[in-house]
Amino acid sequence: VQLVESGGGLVQPGGSLRLSCAASGFSLDDYAIGWFRQVPGKEREGTSYITDDGRAYYRDSVKGRFTISRDNAKNMVYLQMNSLAPEDTAVYYCAAVYRERVRSNLARPHGYDYWGQGTLVTVSS
C-alpha cells in the first residue's frame, strides 16, 4: 500500500503547480483524500479534501485558488494550485481515509489511514 506525491518544485509568486497523488496496492474508490501541508516548526494543516462521492472542501486561505480532483480509473488524485504565494511554501502530503465524509473529520490528520512521503513546494522570486 503506497501513496506517492509528485509535481512539487520552485515557482514564482502568482504561478501555478499541479500536484499528483498516485495510489498503489489499493483502490482509492472508497477513500476520501486530503492534501495537507507542513512547514518546519508548525503543525500539519489540511488544505483540500475530496470524499469518495466527489465532494470537495477547502480551507479558507486556499479557497478559489486550489482545486482538488480525483480520477478513480487512474487511481490518482490531483491538486491544482493557482495564484501561489510565499505562504504556500511547504511540504505537501496526500493522505487517504476509508469512507470518511464528515468535513470536520477530514481536517484531522490523525484520522487518516495512509500517507505519502510528501513533495516540496517552494514559492519564491
Give the residues across from 56 on adjacent strands: 50
Work out the mean pLDDT of the chain and round it to a whole number. Answer: 97
Q: Read off the pLDDT of residues 63-114 as tens digits, 9 standing for 90 and up.
A: 999 999 999 999 999 999 999 999 999 999 999 999 999 999 999 999 999 9
In this prediction, residue 78 carries a pLDDT of 98
Residue 94 CB contacts under 8 Å (≥ 6 apart), including other chains: 3, 5, 19, 21, 33, 34, 35, 36, 77, 79, 115, 116
